[in-house]
Amino acid sequence: MHWRTVNPESLCWAQWDDANTLFHGETGETHLLGELPAAVVQLLSGAARSEASLCAELAALCETANDGPWRQRIAALLSQLETLELIEPLPADTP
């Protein structure tokens, strides 16, 4: 499955020492995001990615193994970010 950020042009970021604050103009909501979820949204704002590709990129970024538990963690995170309407899956027939 491929994922993308919902309307990345409407995102406003504030980066702090310990976390990130994100305003999403699409929903009018403000979110407090840790480093990992912020990295997901930022990567998907640049370009849509497959879940497998995202897991590999994030594992490299975090210097951790791209193993089963990691992929499960990222899958759970994607689900949470989708619930917040920050990201969305691309339609299945998208090339």
Residue numbers of the site for other proteins (CB under 8 A)?
10, 12, 14, 16-21, 23, 25, 28, 30, 32
**Please, what is the minimum distance in Å from the beta carbon of residue 52 to other proteins?**
31
Closer Cβ to other proteins, 20 or 45, answer by number: 20
CA distances from 16 to 19, 22, 45, 51 (A): 5, 11, 20, 27
- Crossing angle of helices 51-62 and 35-46, rounded to 10°: 130
Q: Are strands 20-24 and 29-33 parallel, antiparallel or unpaired?
A: antiparallel
**Would you say 13 or 60 has its CB closer to other proteins?**
13
Q: How far is the CB of 27 from other proteins (least distance, A)?
A: 10
